[in-house]
Amino acid sequence: MAFLTDRKRAVGMGSAKSGTHHHWQMMVTSVALLVLIPLFVFTFGTILGAPYAEVIAYYQRPFPAVVAILTMLVGFFHFRLGVQTVIEDYVHGFARKAAIIFMICLSYAAAGFAVFAIIRIAL
């Protein structure tokens, strides 16, 4: 064992399949949320507590609706990436695959429902 090269010691210790891509996606969505969350809070905060008719009229304007849709889409995509990392680190065997599939379906369904609700309000 003393005569093994560093490469020989590393063989079989795991692979770098898509870790860089996953990390890059997390960083991009983090920066996007860094911009989108304050915009969403600013647009949502101005109408918070208003009567129903005013809220509907406000979200029929393009800017608040687009900000809300982008925030939901990027937020749920970031959620999916983060929870997938946690599942990959702490869950093993068949439960890992089942949990990842369930979590992906759940996050896309939640994003779809959020976008549908906003579009329904906007139109």
Taking phi over 0 as left and psi of -120 to 50 as alpha, with beta for the rest, 12 belongs to: left
Q: What is the pLDDT of residues 15-31, one digit of tens each?
A: 656 778 889 999 999 99
* Lookup: tokens for 73: 């889409």
- Output the pLDDT for position 49: 94
**How far, in Å, CA of 29 to CA of 18, rounded?**
17
Query: What is the distance in angstroms between the CA of the first residue and the CA of the last residue of the chain?
Result: 69
Enter the CATH code of domain 21-122. 1.20.1300.10
Closest CA to 64 of 44, 45, 36: 44
Q: What is the pTM of this model?
A: 0.84
User: From the first residue on, what is the mean pLDDT of each consecutive set of 10 residues in the chain (123 residues)?
Assistant: 72 68 94 97 94 95 96 98 94 96 97 97 92
The confidence score (pLDDT) of residue 114 equals 97
Residue 20: its pLDDT value, please? 84
- Report pLDDT for 115: 97
d(CA 65, CA 31): 20
